[in-house]
Structure 1
Amino acid sequence: MAFSTPDAFTTRPTLRGSFGMAASTHWLATATAQSVLERGGNAVDAAVAAGFVLHVVEPHLNGPGGDLTGLFAMAGSGDGASDGAADDAAGGADASAVRVFMGQGPAPRRATIEHYRDVEGLADVPGAGALAAAVPGAVDAWLWLLAEHGTWELSDVLAYAIGYAADGHPVAPAVVTTIERIAPLFRSHWTSSAALWLDAEGNAPRPGQIITNPAYAQVLLRLLAAGPDDGTRVDRIEAARAAWKTGFVAQAMEAFAARPHRHSDGRDHAGVLEAADLADFRPGDEEPVTYSFRGHTIAKTGPWGQGPVLLQTLAILEAYGRLHGLTDEHLDPSTAFGIHVIAEAEKLALADRDAWYGDPAFVDVPLATLLSDSYAEERAALIGETASAELRPGSPDGRTPIDLASLGETGSGKTGLVDDIEVAEEVEDAALEAEPGAGPGVAPGVDGELTTDTSGQTRGDTCHLDVIDAQGNIVTVTPSGGWLQSSPAIPELGFCLGTRLQMSWLDETSPSALQPGARPRTTLSATLVSGPDGAPLFTLGTPGGDQQDQWQLPALLRIIVGGWSGQQAIDAPTFHTTSHLSSFWPRVWEPAGLIVEGRVGASVIAELEARGHRVTVPGDWSLGRLSAVGRDAATGTLWAAANPRGAQGYAAGR
């Protein structure tokens, strides 16, 4: 059976050119990145400029108080400067040059299980409020990347974000929807957020209205002012990092976190973040975890993130093919059989994520075994003709997994429509359940359902960006956290703290147990693919929390196995399972749950239901916000593609 061919229809062309390409979840970030490339910056300069713009234009999806992870590969050496000469068709970097971009802050030094459980009286880390704040890593990480591999002055890179924050930009409908839904909390409890996001009458802005964030503009200007005029480019960046980590920003964060405020449990707590936590944080680069698939090398983060889930799923799928004498038919995400097998493989990999993943500096993660052929065959043998409704972690190296079923709650109708689900709702309260509709111009599952009440019970989302330049430099980053709905705004900074610690367990037996200095097991999970020649070929990423790797996988299969173009793969209908523990409070899961876009077809949906999947169809264009950039191995032509869902993501290039 041949792999499905793509439909002739796509929403837009896959962009192709030779100069440089960018794609992201917001058109202004994409335009910013392309502008930097046009003015002589490299892919890192462009990505950093776009990343700071995303803080301003998608504040409901990421913020300076949040975090990020990604991957990159540099064609040159030194600080990433290029002489402007394009390399040959093989590209300027090789697979050995691929690095993980690590901007995930750890738990603060006072974030202990004993404090949360015994002093604060919590059973779980809250989904909103400063107790959920990991050390903000995004800004320090962006500045590190610029110093190490960029070429531009910090003032030039930040000029775009400063302009949009100080002079304003037309607010996207999804931002307005988020503000409207959380406005009762702002008015009742988070008054500093009300002052930032609501007008004098307590109303949210209108879609398209010009909004500003002068406080954040001043933060960026003060970071620039910290640098010496007579120093080097790197000296000025390092001075800005110091002002962030040990100066006025860190001090403001500590002072504000210490003030009790409403959390998602309906009570007021003070946070535990201190300035010293920011000073201790070190962003940087790491070796990726990789898996060879059909002649390609897939690179992901380590098991402190969920990235290896995608690799393990691929290993299980390949093992399933060997066990059953199949070639490609079980990998086809356009058929009921392919969707069934892929979803069942994902359930097994996600169960292993929850049972075994954690920060390797604190726990022994049996990653080599989890990605081995022999273990993959053990797991693949569990895939039957019908959908599993169990959480089934394996026993790598004979280890006994923790009891996942005792850690989560089942919930019928859990749709997974929220990208990067910042869930802080009482499951039993039906009034707080997400409904299939979204705000004006917003597709469900795209910019996310956001529900709230005055206790601080919210849901949020994430961003993504990709850049490639003519010299072969390539960057893919998924920024998140620090949403405007995460915790009260810090007035003098113009942003709030993030909530990544909700991914940590208040259970000492979990590999993701809350520990000072340990990175919470983030869901942020970009992908970088190298070709058979060893050179980086393309990047891919999306918002989506637990769904990030699930939405990337069908696109990867369509590109690598099916030979589809980037835009064809992104446009195609997709799906994800909800039959796993949510990484987000309150840890709901839906046994045998499967979410599919209606465009997969009625006959496919009927067969999936006959196989025992509890299918939810939220809409025809409702899942994922993928974007990608790459290079054609044969011609050296650059390409880019972006998700049409939600009418917000765009690609650009020439």
Structure 2
Amino acid sequence: MFTTRPTLQGTFGMVSSTHWLASSSAMAVLEDGGNAFDAAVAAAFVLHVVEPHLNGPAGEVPMIVAPAGAEPTVLCGQGVAPAGATVAHYTSLGLDLVPGTGPLAAAVPGAFDAWLLLLRDHGTKSLREVLTYAIGYAEGGHPAVARVGSTVDTVRELFETEWTSSAAVYLRDGEPPAAGRLLRNPALAWTWQRLLTEAEAAGANRETQIDAARAVWRAGFIAEAIATQAAKPTMDTSGERHESTMTGDDLAGFSAHYEPPATFTRNGWTVAKPGLWSQGPTFLQQLALLPTDDDPDDHHTLIEGTKLAMADREAWYGDSTDVTLESLLSPSYNDSRRGLVGERASAELRPGSPDGREPRLPAHLDLAGAAAPTPVGAGEPTVAPDGGTRGDTCHVDVVDRWGNMIAATPSGGWLQSNPVIPELGFPLGTRLQMTWLEDGLPNSLVPGRRPRTTLSPSMAMRDGQPVMAFGTPGGDQQDQWSLHFFLAVTRGRDLQAAIDAPNWHTSSFPSSFYPRAMVPGGVTVESRIGDDVIDGLRERGHDVTVGDPWSEGRLCAVTRDPETGVLSAAANPRGMQGYAVGR
């Protein structure tokens, strides 16, 4: 099969990420003797600088971490709702949805603490050693990718009239950064330099410095600036100015943590995902719904299975659910659900009844069902003039010569999510837009609970050993695109061929992003998938949108063969940003 580039192979180390500068920085850490976790942290902070339209330090990140010889674990960097973020407070403001932008949409930031916890517990490098790459690019500049400028151009009026601190960074000389033009963020470089100064003053020990930096984020100058910004009335997608309920106490009380992954085994492959506070288990449910003799070219069956898994996501997933993964993944439950897949496409949202429980869907879905479709795209931002966005994320995978492996999907804190905090050089996030302003749902807005995130890194095991880390940006599409990639790999395609293969997604379920649209029966395909597939889907009742030939999916992946020690990596060519490096 044609591939856009070769699958890289070697024995020393492999990195795949959504931006070549992040991949190269991670590789530099490996070359300097660091391990996969040191390299991932360096890449993450570079991604904050070079993909500011896709992630930032005040966003969130779930990771799947597999130290050599150990089973994978999930490191959760998803922040929670502030103590004052109640349904009653938001509805008292006249809201029926959490806005898609602005301080009301901001969860307590989780990404920074998660990356530092990873570095402390599993890394070997100092904080200064891993931050040096991000500081260099923020201070000295990096050639902007075209999509940064196009994103800024879309929200130019908002920046000029309301979010003027963002204009100071991204509209210098009154124009968005042109492709290839050096883009600098001196405030961000200053933030990390001051952080290092204060952390190193705490002592010479590596772990002591990292914990000191975490304390500065929670209760020092960074926390003070975040709390001050959160309290400022800010224009958001509601058309009004609102402030957050977030306080210094919320910031001081949050810590990233480890937890067991959700797993499912099929045909000798075990896949590890984040739990029901994410959409990750939809990947596992889609696997469980496949017939034993599944046809790799049966797009109809895959699409219908995705709809069923996503309907369960809407009814049962959240930080407060009382449904277990065992119930959702049980053979009996999936046998009954599989029977719902007919010869014709379904346009209904059909959650199941695990353990006999009756599903409850948000009342707002009655209003959202006829809304506009999810836009065609490769996981890059689609931005409304008021700053509303969906599908903005990064990804990084690393494996080293010792067998350490990590998959991470950083997101949130985008330049179009909230105004830049002028003292710090980065904005707050918007993950609370994924909660419902209705009490009693698994994903209701509740203080101290995590919003259900779309972020969903993956790790696959064979015979109990981690062999592949992978993932993609793309919001609700993540566990569709990544499933199709995974199935291609398990059926014999090499990494790059599996990434390059024509991809698709269905939007026949409520979007996780404001304004929570859905397209009953909707499927978007790359034109390369072929007229025979497109015509066949339409004949079976699917509402097919044909996108550009390279518009679906932004996969990254690394592998390790436990028997030979050979490492491999591949990256997505769509968007011309993702790159794998290694030797």
- Residue 164 of structure 1: which of 137, 140, 152 is its match? 137
Q: Distance in 1 between matches of 2:468 and 2:557?
A: 7
**Match of 2:215, SS?**
helix
1:279 Cα deviation from its structure 2 partner: 1.0
Partner of 1:116: 90
Residue equivalent to 2:347: 389
Amino acid at match of 2:493: W
Q: Is the 8 A contact 2:362 2:438 kept in 1?
A: no
1:328 aligns with 2:328: no
Structure 1 residue runs of 5 or longer lacking an equivalent are 1-6, 76-92, 322-326, 418-443
1:350 equivalent to 2:310? Answer yes
Residue in structure 2 matching 1:627, options 553, 556, 569: 556
Partner residue, 1:570 = 499
**2:382 — aligned with what?**
449
Q: Residue 87 of structure 1 corresponds to which residue in structure 2?
A: none
Cα deviation for residue 447 of structure 1 reads 2.3
User: Residue 416 of structure 1 contacts residue 445 of structure 1 at CA under 8 Å; is this kept in 2?
Assistant: no
Q: Distance in 2 between matches of 1:487 and 1:393?
A: 34
SS at match of 1:163: helix
Map of 2:488 onto structure 1: 558
Instruction: Give the direction of change, closer, same or farther, for the CA distance of 1:394–1:32 in structure 2 (3 Å limit).
Output: same
CA distance change for structure 1 residues 585 and 449 in 2, over 3 Å: closer, same or farther?
Answer: closer
User: 1:308 aligned to 260, 281, 288, which one?
Assistant: 281
Give the whole-Å Cα distance in 1 for the aligned partners of 2:200 and 2:426. Answer: 26
Deviation of 1:199 after TM superposition, in Å, equals 1.6
- Aligned residue for 2:127? 154
Q: 1:387 corresponds to which letter in structure 2?
A: A
Do residues 293 (structure 1) and 266 (structure 2) align?
Answer: yes
1:599-652 per-position Cα deviation (integer Å, ceiling 9, x unaligned): 110011000000000000111100111000011244321000000001100000
The question of whether the paired residues in 2 share the 8 Å contact of 1:252 and 1:492 is answered with: yes
User: Is 2:514 the partner of 1:585?
Assistant: yes
- State the 1:490 CA deviation: 0.8
Q: Superposed, which structure 2 residues align to 1:56-67 within 5 Å? A: 56-67=49-60
Q: Percent of aligned positions with the same letter in both sequences? A: 54
> Is residue 409 of structure 1 aligned with residue 368 of structure 2?
yes
> Secondary structure at the residue paired with 1:243?
helix
CA–CA distance in 1 between the matches of 2:211 and 2:372?
49
Q: Corresponding residue for 1:638? A: 567
Is 1:251 equivalent to 2:244 in the alignment? no
1:538 corresponds to 2:468:
yes
Instruction: Summarize deviations over 1:438-477 as a string: whole Å, max 9, x none.
Output: xxxxxx3342332314xx4344510000000000000110
CA distance in 1, matches of 2:283, 2:391: 23
Contact 1:215-1:494 at 8 Å conserved across structures: yes
Map of 1:250-289 to 2, 5 A cutoff?
Answer: 250-289=223-262
Q: In the alignment, which residue of structure 1 is the partner of 2:447?
A: 516
Offset from partner CA, 1:80-114 (integer Å, 9 cap, x none) = xxxxxxxxxxxxx24xx210121000001110001
CA distance in structure 2 between the aligned counterparts of 1:314 and 1:32, rounded to whole angstroms: 35
Q: For residues 627 and 509 of structure 1, what CA distance do their matches in structure 2 show? A: 37
Q: What CA distance in whole angstroms lies between the structure 2 residues aligned with 1:564 and 1:413?
A: 36
Superposed counterparts of 1:14-93, under 5 Å: 14-75=7-68, 93=69
- Quick one: distance in 2 between partners of 1:46 and 1:166? 20
Give the paired residue count: 581
Deviations 1:65-93 (A, max 9, x none): 10001101001xxxxxxxxxxxxxxxxx2
How big is the shift at 1:415?
Answer: 3.8
Structure 1 counterpart of 2:73: 99
Matched, 1:500 2:431: yes
3-state SS in 2 of match to 1:35: helix
Contact 2:105–2:433 under 8 Å retained in 1 = yes
Structure 1 match to 2:525:
596
Q: Is the 8 A contact 1:21 1:629 kept in 2?
A: yes
- The answer on whether the counterparts of 1:460 and 1:483 sit within 8 Å (CA) in structure 2 is no
Instruction: Return the alpha-carbon distance in structure 2 between the equivalents of residues 223 and 154 of structure 1.
Output: 10
Give the whole-Å Cα distance in 1 for the aligned partners of 2:200 and 2:503.
51
CA–CA distance in structure 1, aligned partners of residues 565 and 363 of structure 2? 49
2:235 and 2:382 map into 1 onto residues whose CA distance is 21
CA contact (8 A) 1:166 1:214 kept: yes
Q: CA RMSD in A?
A: 1.3
CA offsets 1:34-58 (integer angstroms, 9 cap, x no match): 1100110000000000000000000
Match of 1:226 in 2: 198
Structure 2 letter corresponding to 1:339: H
Per the TM alignment, residue 284 of structure 1 is displaced from its structure 2 partner at its CA by 2.0
In the other structure, the counterpart of 2:321 is 363
Aligned to 1:340: 300
CA distance in 1, matches of 2:243, 2:346: 42
Tell me: CA distance 1:304–1:500, structure 2 relative to 1, closer, same or farther (3 Å).
Answer: same
Q: Is the 8 A contact 1:259 1:270 kept in 2?
A: yes
Q: Give the aligned residue type for 2:81.
A: A
Separation (CA, whole Å) in 1 of partners of 2:307 and 2:158: 36
User: SS of the residue aligned with 1:539?
Assistant: strand
Three-state SS of the structure 2 residue aligned to 1:63 is: coil
Contact 2:382 2:389 in 1 (8 A): no
Q: 2:413 aligns with which of 461, 467, 482?
A: 482
SS at match of 1:641: strand
Residue 467 of structure 2 aligns with an amino acid whose one-letter code is L
Distance in 2 (CA, whole Å) between partners of 1:259 and 1:520 is 23
Deviation beyond 6 Å, 4+ runs, structure 1: none
Instruction: Give the TM-score of the pair, scaled to structure 1.
Output: 0.87
Residue number in structure 2 paired with 1:398: 356
Which residue identity does 1:254 align to in structure 2?
A
* In structure 1, C-alpha distance between the alignment counterparts of 2:388 and 2:302, rounded to whole Å: 33
Rounded to whole Å, the distance in 2 between the matches of 1:236 and 1:446 is 36
Distance 2:205 2:510 in 1: 48
Secondary structure at 1:475's aligned position in 2? strand
| Closer, same or farther: CA 446–522 of 1 in aligned 2, 3 Å | closer
Could you tell me which residue of structure 2 aligns to residue 81 of structure 1? none
> 1:306-328, CA deviations, whole angstroms, 9 ceiling, x for partnerless residues?
100100110011xx33xxxxx23
- What TM-score do you get using the length of structure 2 for normalisation? 0.98
**d(CA) in 2 for partners of 1:404 and 1:225?**
48
How many angstroms apart in 2 are the aligned matches of 1:413 and 1:260?
29
Deviation readout 1:315-360 (Å, 9 max, x if unpaired): 011xx33xxxxx231xx1xx3xx1110110010010001100111x
C-alpha displacement of 1:413: 5.6
Report the more deviating stretch, 369-378 or 396-405.
396-405
* Aligned residue number for residue 162 of structure 2: 189
SS of 1:282's partner is: coil
1:241 corresponds to which residue?
214
Q: Which moved more, 1:286-295 or 1:228-237?
A: 228-237
2 CA distance for matches of 1:225 and 1:69?
28
Matched to 1:47, the amino acid is A
Equivalent position of 2:183 in the other structure: 211
Unaligned runs of 5+ in 2: none
Contact 2:401–2:565, Cα closer than 8 Å, also in 1: no
- Any conservation in 1 of the 2:16–2:398 contact (CA below 8 Å)? yes
CA contact (8 A) 1:51 1:479 kept: yes
Give me the whole-angstrom Cα distance separating, in 2, the residues matched to 1:489 and 1:50.
22
Aligned counterparts of 2:220 and 2:86: Cα–Cα separation in 1: 25
Aligned partner of residue 227 in structure 2, secondary structure = helix
* 1:175 aligns to 2:148 (yes or no): yes
Structure 1: how far apart are the matches of 2:200 and 2:159?
Answer: 40
Say if 2:123 is the partner of 1:139: no
**SS of residue in 1 equivalent to 2:407:** strand
How far residue 259 of structure 1 moved from its aligned partner, in angstroms, is 1.1
CA contact (8 A) 1:415 1:616 kept: no
The letter of the residue matching 1:500 is: R
What is the CA–CA distance in structure 2 between the aligned matches of 1:143 and 1:555, rounded to whole Å?
A: 30
